[in-house]
Amino acid sequence: MARVMAPEEFRETGPVAAARGLLGKVLVRTLRGRRTERVITEVEAYDGERDLACHASKGRTKRTEVMYRPGGVWYVYLCYGVHEMLNLVTGPADCPAAVLIRGVAGIAGPGRLTKALAIDRSLNAAAAHPDSGLHVEDHGVVVPRRRVRATPRIGVDYAGPVWAAKKWRFTFDPAKLPESKQRVRRVARGFSPRPGTQNAG
DNA sequence: TACTCGATCGGA
DNA sequence: CCGATCGAGTAA
């Protein structure tokens, strides 16, 4: 049921598909023996050098170097001199792209999220693996496509009308997941619900 | 080295 | 609406 996602899994798709796929997955922070887990509810995709909203549009620099690595590593940077932003690098090597984790269940806002989970730049370039203290798990939460809202990314007007208008921000409301109905539907199809499993898929 | 400007947030 | 706060990127 709770399956640890391997870094390699984030090398298979581009950032838009990866972003959609991360909705409903669980962000797991392990620090000093304390484990915190939150369902990912809000993400944004940043797609390569052509995407003028993506830091990689500046090319390969000290800061963007991590995005050129194979997916499955964290890209954490400081924004406005105040807030740490958490991204997951996606895609194969030399295709600089990432997914910004903007929100989790109960926490809206990328800055608040990193503060709450004690995430900072010391995790930059670390693997999304339990060893690093920050990884992703699949708890079988199913987010129906109709529940996903695609809207323009936040705070990227500087990227110009074309790239700022891309609807690459994806959100869903976990409260609207009718898990009981899904279970019923599943039972009707001949599956038996497992105790403690939320929307097993 | 000297600028400018943020993938934000909280408080007037 | 505005200030905080600092590092990346750019120009020089």
* Sequence spans of domains, chain A: 3-173
Residue A152 contacts strand B, CB under 7 A: no
CB A86 within 8 A of CB A54: no
For A124-168, the pLDDT digits (tens) are 999 999 999 999 999 999 999 999 999 999 999 999 999 999 999
Q: Which helix (H) or strand (E) holds A99?
A: strand A97-104
Closest nucleotide over all strands to A46 (CA to C1'): B7
Please tell me whether residue A120 adopts helix, strand or coil conformation: coil
pLDDT of residue A185: 39
pLDDT of residue A166: 98
pLDDT of residue A136: 98
Q: Which helix (H) or strand (E) holds A3?
A: strand A3-4
CA of residue A122 to C1' of nucleotide C2, angstroms? 30
Of the pLDDT bands very low, low, confident and very high (cuts 50, 70, 90), residue A177 is: confident
- Chain C positions with any atom < 7 A from a protein CB: 4-10
CA of residue A58 to C1' of nucleotide C8, angstroms? 10
Q: Please state, as a whole number, how many other Cβ atoms lie within 10 Å of the Cβ of residue A180.
A: 10
Please tell me whether residue A135 adopts helix, strand or coil conformation: strand
CATH topology of domain A3-173: 3-methyladenine DNA Glycosylase; Chain A (3.10.300)
| pLDDT exceeds cutoff 60 at A90 | yes
pLDDT of residue A195: 38
- Chain B positions with any atom < 7 A from a protein CB: 5-10
Residue A186 contacts strand C, CB under 7 A: no
Instruction: For residues A52 and A140, give the distance between their C-alpha atoms in angstroms, rounded to a whole number.
Output: 34
**Residue closest to C10 C1′ by Cα:** A58
CA distances A136 to A124, A156, A185, A198, A200, Å, are: 16, 26, 27, 16, 17
Please tell me whether residue A176 adopts helix, strand or coil conformation: helix
Cα distance from N-terminal residue to C-terminal residue, chain A = 9
CA of residue A109 to C1' of nucleotide B5, angstroms? 21
Closest to A44 measured CA to CA, from A7, A10, A15, A85:
A15
Residue A156 contacts strand B, CB under 7 A: yes
What are the backbone angles phi and psi of residue A98, rounded to the nearest 5°? -160, 160
